Structure 1
């Protein structure tokens, strides 16, 4: 083997460890989960030997699972929209700060990510409870006469997930803003455009790829989140990840739990592919 051939194979050798790790810890478990979902669950508590699509048929015809999937992806969509509304302006302000204050702000933005999601969620449980800090402040100020129910509600889960996931949106949009040519903003201002017009016509169109990428990350993480819905939502507010947990470890119905996991991964993957195509199309329109 000559030097040229070794040089051509070098990228493959360098990527081999990562590929093998991905196959072992990501692809193989997914294949095993898919195969498990194709076996029946026996009334005795065991797993049958014949392949079947009965688990997927049950998911397709049972309104209980329809409601859970609708709640899960509705929640993920709402969390994504709120994160966009908060993260895009925050990233824009962050990009306009001086280097010193930018460093401080980045530490503040990334600070929550340095704490365990369970610890952060338990903190929100303390804040959102009937005897929590928020309700005590509301009652002390006279805005409400009795505690506002926020624990074990859809709203409470959304609030906690937004706090957990908004840093991902800020980082994605901030990365896009680093590629923004400030000369275009200055040119628009010199022609009489106001701040709102500059943001709407100049800034936002160029950061759409970052918004879409951040939205994809937030949507995927929100749809697959387990700890936050389990703690804040409790047993009353079921989502797909908590239902998978109940089927696998509560009912010991491993095939149905595996089918739920496969459908969840499939929907998230379909959304990811669609958003990636939008991002690629946007990049071609802007840069080509």
Structure 2
């Protein structure tokens, strides 16, 4: 009976530190989100819910929220489509090629995020590498707009967060017992059937974990959307930044930050329920 309490007692110092460091600043900012910002004067003492209801009533903010979620969904899907074959190759190849592929996958993480974003600007600009190549070979007559829109953001964020998806999938694939796949092969199951009936279902927890990680990181990213999206193509993170740093509208920025946090927590909670139902169904 005392073992659970001993665990709580041992973990309580760390929990207290985490609460003080992470939860206290959030609670301090929460009342600010219910005040009104008066241009030229600052935050007023009046209480209001308009900062939160604005997301639901104003089409401009609804579009930004929808754009952010769409961007997260597309980047998550692309990282999965690109990352699963790579992770499968890394898990099934020889140790030498596995080490080589792992190094190539994690190498972009050693580079500064700003440097990688500026690299994509060089590649995707109107007179960048991609457009110049397409015009040189005669496929297009004028540059294609690849920056300051959803296309540029998706390309840049997919490149940045692909390693996270690959590493999560690699761990899940390596945990699959090879005996299960070999047993299916001895029963005359083809490679495609083995993949869709054994490999893919057994890696579902890794797929779910990688998808949650990439989606949350994507919708909360600031640097890359700021550089590749420009000042006009806004997502939730850049909107929050502008409210705080440019407009000095702390009540609106705080409320938008809490809305983004609630969206993130709702996604994690929903994914957790899906994971529990899946594990219960396969148990």
TM-score range, shorter chain: over 0.9
* The one of 226, 230, 246 aligned to 1:250: 246
Q: Secondary structure of the residue that 1:50 maps to in structure 2?
A: strand
Equivalent residues in 2 for 1:1-288, closer than 5 Å:
11-12=7-8, 15-286=11-282, 288=283
1:65/1:17 CA distance change after superposition, 3 Å? same
Stretches of structure 2 that go unaligned for 5 or more consecutive residues are: none
Could you list the per-position Cα deviations for residues 129-173 of structure 1 after superposition, in whole angstroms to 9, with x for gaps in the alignment? 112112222222222222221011210110000001111111111
**TM-score (ref. length: structure 1):** 0.92
Aligned partners of 1:143 and 1:20: how far apart in 2? Answer: 61
Matched residue of 2:237: which SS? helix
Aligned residues: 283
Q: CA deviation at 1:73?
A: 0.5
Using the alignment, how far apart are the partners of 1:25 and 1:121 within structure 2? 30
Preserved contact between residue 33 and residue 262 of structure 1 (Cα < 8 Å): no
The separation in 1 between residues aligned to 2:108 and 2:228, in whole angstroms, is 17
SS in 2 for 1:144: coil
Post-superposition shift, 1:125?
A: 0.7
| SS of match in other structure, 2:126 | coil
RMSD: 1.9
Q: Could you tell me how far apart the structure 2 residues matched to 1:187 and 1:255 are?
A: 61
